[in-house]
Amino acid sequence: MATIRKRQGPGSRHVWHVQVRKKGYPSQTCTFDTKAQALAWAATIESEIARGVFVSRTEAEATTLGEALERYSVEVLPGKKSPSEIGFVRRWRRHPLARRSLAGVRGKDVAAYIRERERDGVGANTIRLELALLSHLFSVARSAWGMESLGNPVALVKGSRPKLPRGRDRRLLSGEEPRLLAACEAHGGLIPLASLVSLALETAMRRGEIAAMRWEHINRKARVLLVPVTKTGEPRRVPLSSQALSVLDGLARRIDGYVWGVRPDSITQAFSRAVRLGRRDYEAECAASGETPDPRVLAGLRFHDLRHEATSRLFEKGLNPMEVSAITGHKTLQMLKRYTHLRAEDLVDRLG
Residues known to be catalytic? 206, 231, 304, 307, 330, 339
For 204, counting Cβ atoms within 10 Å of its Cβ (0-12 exposed, 13-18 middle, 19+ buried), the class is: buried
* Of 151, 121, 128, 129, the residue nearest 139 (C-alpha): 151
Q: Which residues contact 283 (CB under 8 A, 6 or more apart)?
A: 293
Q: How many residues does the chain have?
A: 352
CA angle centred on 333, ends 329 and 334, rounded to 5°:
110
- Find residue 15's DSSP bridge partners: 7
Straight-line distance from the first to the last Cα atom of the chain, in angstroms, rounded to the nearest whole number: 81
Residue 218: alpha-carbon gap to chain centroid: 29
Q: Quickly list DSSP for 106-121.
A: -HHHHHHHHHHHHHTT
How many C-beta neighbours within 10 Å does residue 267 have? 21
